[in-house]
Chains A and B, each alone.
Chain A
Amino acid sequence: MTRLLIPVVAAVLAIATALVPSAPAAPIDVDKSVLDAQAQRIATIKKVHPAIVAVCMQGGQGVGSGVIISPDGYALTNFHVVQPTGPLMQAGLADGQLYDAVVCGIDKVGDVAMIRLLPKEKGKPFPFVALGDSDKVRAGDWSLAMGNPFSLAMDFTPTVTYGLVSGVNRYQPPEGKGLLEYTDCIQIETSINPGNSGGPLFNMQGELIGINGRGSFEKRGRVNSGVGYAISVNQIKNFMGHLRAGIDSDHATLGAAVGSANDDAPLPPVIVKQILDESDAFRRGVLDGDQLTYFAGRPVGSTNNYKNVLGIFPKEWRVPLTVRRKVAVGYETKDMLVRLMGNQDVEKEKPPGAEQPPKGPPPPKAPMPKGSGESAKMYQTKKGYSNWYFNVLERDNLLTAFKKHGDFSTVPGAWVIEGAYKMPDREGSLKAEIVENKDTAKVTLKMNIETTLEPLKQNELALQKMPLGSGGLMMAMYHYHRFLTLGEKGFEGGFAHGGNEPFYPFPTDGSAPKSLASLRVDCAVILTKHGSVNCRWYFSLKDSMLLGFEAYLAKDSKDPDEADPCEVFFSDYKDVDGRKLPGRIEVRHGDKRYAVLTPTKWMLNK
């Protein structure tokens, strides 16, 4: 049985006092290696000490712990710590000062929240800790937990506890309503108590390996009983983009029940059961009864293995998986990239007119959070976001960095692209024209055969997804032009930062990739919506270059051809009048490459 480590004001101080040994030990002869280890430990604690946060309500009452991870004041804590504080809280540091802080992104399922501390003097950097690699942690390793258990320290000096990692890759099921699920977490015997929630777990080098948040208690009440859990930092890294961008993040599901084929067998395989038709896994070819052998690069030997791997990803991430299936002779294995579905029930957009009149009095409005002027200015509400302010901040930072590769807002007129195209069965010259002005919007694509689309007039899906087999290349081009020339103004339905995601450009020579995982490039994502079309734009985390995008014509369609996006991959960027434009555009749809376009001439604002 597990419980969360929400602090209680307990009469522990008296006990703590009684536990202090009275007489100092007589000096004893101690081995040098022991003294060295101790000196190293003390140095490590001293190093990370200033970055430990006591998360407090407005006014300074302690509720939990946290840790600063960047000089500009971003800190990690538990979601269940910021639940009672609301979006504006205060944060005490070891310097004894109380800082104003505001919530950024949250991850309710993973029990993680990011907050941002405001410096006392503008621009003054905060002390922070480095992130470690939690995949390297082993059972039996030493660890340090730091935080403010029982809100003991009135001056916010963190408490240190020291102990072993008891286990890694642990799975602890959700606590009610599917939230606070600890997957792939680190089990520690390092003492953590109410108030330690959200505080850091360090390896002996002082690198952050986890966020403490939960324990198994049962009969003794909520105090340490030798079994605590920390969320692994590698899971948090996957959500880092979401957390910084103020997103109310969600975890993922494969869209199928996955379990052991036979619980009584000595070594049963893990198989797929009841796969949903609307899942991407189904569209990619996973069938009921398939054995799941590898998931996101990790072997799947048991149901807990599977839950551990699944639990570390945000929804809509694409991950490689391998299934094995019995065929007429022997077995076949199949590798594929699968987009994960959301975990939490998302409110489906209601058709107009179907709304029920509200029953009873309207719910009382949440009191407007109070805070110092500065932190209150950094909080904006919006559905789907825990703090929209940070989404705009991250989004605009990303777009500003992208603009260094070329400003397209000055060339809003018609674009003509000339070059060549290559398809599996034919090749030839390419000519594309994208026109948009206040009277008309029109895309003409000539690849031997000429096709046209007027996105504003033709709202039939069958026309929109032309040319056939591309998943909607002309529609995608229309959105590309709009994204580059209009930016936010062009997307009335939504224009937001979508966190970070892996992106998988295929080898440009058309060869089969060595492994799907090897294709991965980490990207920041912008999500847009215009009309009924949703797009995801992928920017390299390295240089903010646009590596590609996906255009979804009808995301929820039952027809796989419509539900799968038109995928566009850009490479071979060239300079065109001071702006970078791709010299190679690969178009994919479903599991196939539709065409490769090689533009040689871009005429912008014709």
Chain B
Amino acid sequence: MFTRYTLLTVVALFGAPALAPAADPFADTVEKANKKLVKVFGAGGFARLNNYGTGIIISKDGHILTVASQLLDTSELVVHLYDGQRMKAQVIVTEPLLDVALIKIRVEGKKIDEDSGLDLDFFDALTAVRRPPAAAGDWILGMSNTFEIALRDEPLSVQRGVISAYTKMAGRRGIFEFPYTGDVYMVDAITNNPGAAGGALLDKKGELLGIIGRELKNSLTETWMNYAIPMNAKMTLKTTITVKDKDGKDVEQEKTVTVSMEEFVTKGAGYKTPVDKTLIPLGLGGYHGIIFVPNILERTPAYVEDVVPGSPADKAGLRPDDLVSFIDGEPIISIKALDEYMRKFTRPNQKIVLEVRRGESLQSIEMTLGQHPPKPKVPAPKP
């Protein structure tokens, strides 16, 4: 046991200085990744089986990759998004051999196999499964809802460490052997805690490397293991199948079956080709024509600085120094939140009701949104 620990320590000591950053580059990475992760709530809450865990969003309409635990054994599965929205979810498919499951957010009035109409930030799982594995000594970030510290809009916890080994492991849970026997990432961050399972193992840049595993013990050493199932996980098994021979008689034949994460996410989440999200023009929503005060803080309140002459805001009579507090009854805490609301929930020609604080009073202002004016074209660079 001591030898093993000594080894890990040495790796950590050599790994750290070689890549130690000058400033604090993780805060932005962490903030971005947090939007692509959910808190999962399901079955459990007794006998050290927690009823909370973590999930990784892998499609814009709400496919979520997580660990295939007892948590999913319920019809009341719920996820909390980064912005605090609580949504129902449903299991699509599980793969016990890889210990992963795919769940999907269920939107009211939509069938589970339809496009949910959501537009979420997500990890491109298909790119992730094709990325070469990280190596021992590489830095990692672990993000998860360890100990259920976060609820609703509270961000997940982040840990940092290095990959101690990319190797096979012999795990067990209680008396049960762990079915997955492929390669795993062993890390020196303490991820083996309640609620961490299903969290994201990221590289330094925030790219997805693997899924943080559950609370397993190493069956050789009886120690808690901090591991993650890699996105390129694969399991090969030999099995026998029954086929008909040329005479129509049943015969047994040996066959090798490969179960891979690539196949799992491709089929499960309906991936076709890798999509670069930055290339998709996002719907901008309706146009209001409000010019806000400079948006310098994470939560700059939505104070009107000016309105574009002739714009919907101008017509509706908005004035400088008005504070937009609610849109259609939804609280608007910042310029960012307002932009997001406009993009997600409004369209041109839609009527919205703004509640605006003007001095000491609150005014209800109705506004009909318009079409976004065309943006001046940027000339293409000459070859």
- The answer to whether A264 touches B86 (Cβ under 8 A) is yes
A142: interface (CB < 8 Å): yes
B129-150, CB under 8 A of A: which get 1 and which 0? 0000000000001000011011
A37: interface (CB < 8 Å): yes
B180-198, CB under 8 A of A: which get 1 and which 0? 0000000001110110000
Contacts A37-B21, A224-B190, A266-B85 known; A167 to B149 CB distance under 8 Å? Answer: yes
Contacts A38-B20, A139-B27, A264-B86 known; A189 to B13 CB distance under 8 Å? Answer: no
- The answer to whether A218 touches B9 (Cβ under 8 A) is no
A269: interface (CB < 8 Å): yes
- Residues on A with C-beta less than 8 A from B24 are 138, 140-142, 204
The number of chain A residues touching the other chain, given as a range, is 35 or more
- The answer to whether A189 touches B160 (Cβ under 8 A) is yes
Contacts A18-B6, A139-B31 known; A226 to B85 CB distance under 8 Å? Answer: no
- The answer to whether B364 touches A330 (Cβ under 8 A) is yes
Q: Which of B14, B28, B357 sits near A333, CB closer than 8 Å?
A: B357
A259-303, CB under 8 A of B: which get 1 and which 0? 000001111010000000000000000000000010000010110
B17-53, CB under 8 A of A: which get 1 and which 0? 1111110101111110010000000000000100000
User: Chain B interface mostly helix, strand, loop or mixed?
Assistant: mixed
- The answer to whether B31 touches A140 (Cβ under 8 A) is yes
Most buried by A among B13, B150, B152: B152
- A518 CB to nearest chain B CB (Å): 14
A439: interface (CB < 8 Å): no
- A314 CB to nearest chain B CB (Å): 25
- Residues on B with C-beta less than 8 A from A165 are 158
Give the interface segment out of A28-36, A101-109, A362-370: A28-36
- The answer to whether A34 touches B19 (Cβ under 8 A) is yes
Contacts A139-B30, A140-B30, A264-B86 known; A37 to B22 CB distance under 8 Å? Answer: yes
For the A-B complex, the count of residue pairs with Cβ-Cβ distances under 8 Å equals: 159
- The answer to whether B157 touches A227 (Cβ under 8 A) is yes
- The answer to whether A304 touches B333 (Cβ under 8 A) is no
- B214 CB to nearest chain A CB (Å): 13
B159: interface (CB < 8 Å): yes
- The answer to whether A164 touches B158 (Cβ under 8 A) is yes
User: Chain A interface mostly helix, strand, loop or mixed?
Assistant: mixed
B87: interface (CB < 8 Å): yes
- Residues on B with C-beta less than 8 A from A148 are none
Complex Cα distance A15/B325, Å? 58
Which chain A residue shows the least CB distance to B86? Answer: A266
Interface residues of B, Cβ cutoff 8 Å to A: 2, 5-6, 9-10, 13-14, 17-22, 24, 26-31, 34, 48, 84-87, 141, 146-147, 149-160, 189-191, 193-194, 215, 224, 299, 325-326, 329-331, 333, 353, 355, 357, 359-360, 362, 364
Given A25-B14, A264-B86: 10 more A-B contacts, CB < 8 Å: A25-B13, A30-B18, A34-B19, A140-B28, A204-B24, A227-B157, A227-B193, A266-B86, A331-B326, A333-B357
In the complex, the 6 A-B pairs of residues with the closest C-beta atoms, listed nearest first: A226-B190, A140-B26, A140-B27, A140-B30, A138-B27, A166-B157
- 30 A-B interface contacts by CB (under 8 A): A25-B14, A34-B20, A37-B21, A138-B27, A138-B30, A138-B31, A139-B27, A139-B155, A139-B157, A142-B24, A164-B26, A165-B158, A166-B159, A167-B158, A187-B149, A189-B160, A216-B146, A226-B189, A227-B146, A227-B149, A264-B86, A267-B85, A267-B86, A293-B325, A302-B84, A304-B151, A324-B326, A330-B353, A330-B355, A331-B326
